[in-house]
Structure 1
Amino acid sequence: MHTADMSDLLGKATLRAKGQITLSARIREALHAREGDDVEFREEDGVVYVRAVRTIAADQAWFWSPEWQAGEVEASQEIARGETEKFDSTDEFLKSLGQ
């Protein structure tokens, strides 16, 4: 049996009659869980692991693709370095694109 250091204890919850538990704010924060997220349980060698699973709507999945996220990182880095341009009008912006 695994004996955890009690200083690692995030809290505890009481199992209710219908199999429901309420997670404390501290536990939800540790799981990065928000209302509406699923919570997934996995057992391995007698230890139960828990994690929050956030479902992404099909019409939003493109944003979370590795390619799009790489572009988001690149854009954030360019903004942080001050590599931006400001345009006073849509026409000016389109002209800069060669339109």
Structure 2
Amino acid sequence: MAATTFRAAVRDKGELTLPAGIREVLGVSPGDELEFAINDDGVVEVHGLRKIRADQAWFSTERWQAGEREASEDVAAGRTTRHEGVDEMFAHLTSPAPGRR
């Protein structure tokens, strides 16, 4: 599959208008920022930023954050288990829950 290319002209003060297709891929809209990283081989990577990189926005979804809150509440309430090793942990995870068969 061929790469999709876009062009934008740089204006006097280094400004440019990002084509709509680029804004969509980066997940940015007016007011968002961009992060540029230059690799050792000279390739420039561009990431859209909100409060975090746009490609990591899944962590900020309400569903994910609700799970984080639930996990924090479980830890605070002592609803945790400790295992001596990986085998013991997996045995616990794959065993039927108490009261279920």
Alpha-carbon distance between aligned partners in 2 of 1:46 and 1:25, rounded to the nearest angstrom:
25
Question: What SS is found at the alignment partner of 1:41?
Answer: strand
Q: Which letter does structure 1 place at the counterpart of 2:67?
A: A
Q: Does 1:51 align with 2:35?
A: no
CA-CA distance at 1:13 after TM superposition: 0.7
RMSD, aligned α-carbons:
3.2
CA-CA distance at 1:39 after TM superposition: 0.6
Unpaired runs of at least 5, structure 1: 57-63, 73-99
TM-score scaled by structure 1?
Answer: 0.50
CA-CA distance at 1:48 after TM superposition: 0.3
CA-CA distance at 1:43 after TM superposition: 0.3
Name 1:70's counterpart in structure 2: 67
Question: What SS is found at the alignment partner of 2:8?
Answer: coil
Structure 1 stretches (4+) deviating beyond 6 angstroms? none
How many pairs does the alignment contain?
A: 61
> What whole-Å deviation, never above 9, does each CA across 1:2-23 have from its counterpart, x for those lacking one?
xxx8x31341111110000100
Distance change in 2, residues 1:42/1:69 (3 Å): farther
Between the two proteins, what is the percent identity of the paired residues? 37
8 Å CA contact 1:31–1:51 kept in 2: the answer is: yes
> What whole-Å deviation, never above 9, does each CA across 1:38-66 have from its counterpart, x for those lacking one?
0111000210000110027xxxxxxx49x
TM-score scaled by structure 2?
Answer: 0.50
8 Å CA contact 1:10–1:26 kept in 2: the answer is: no
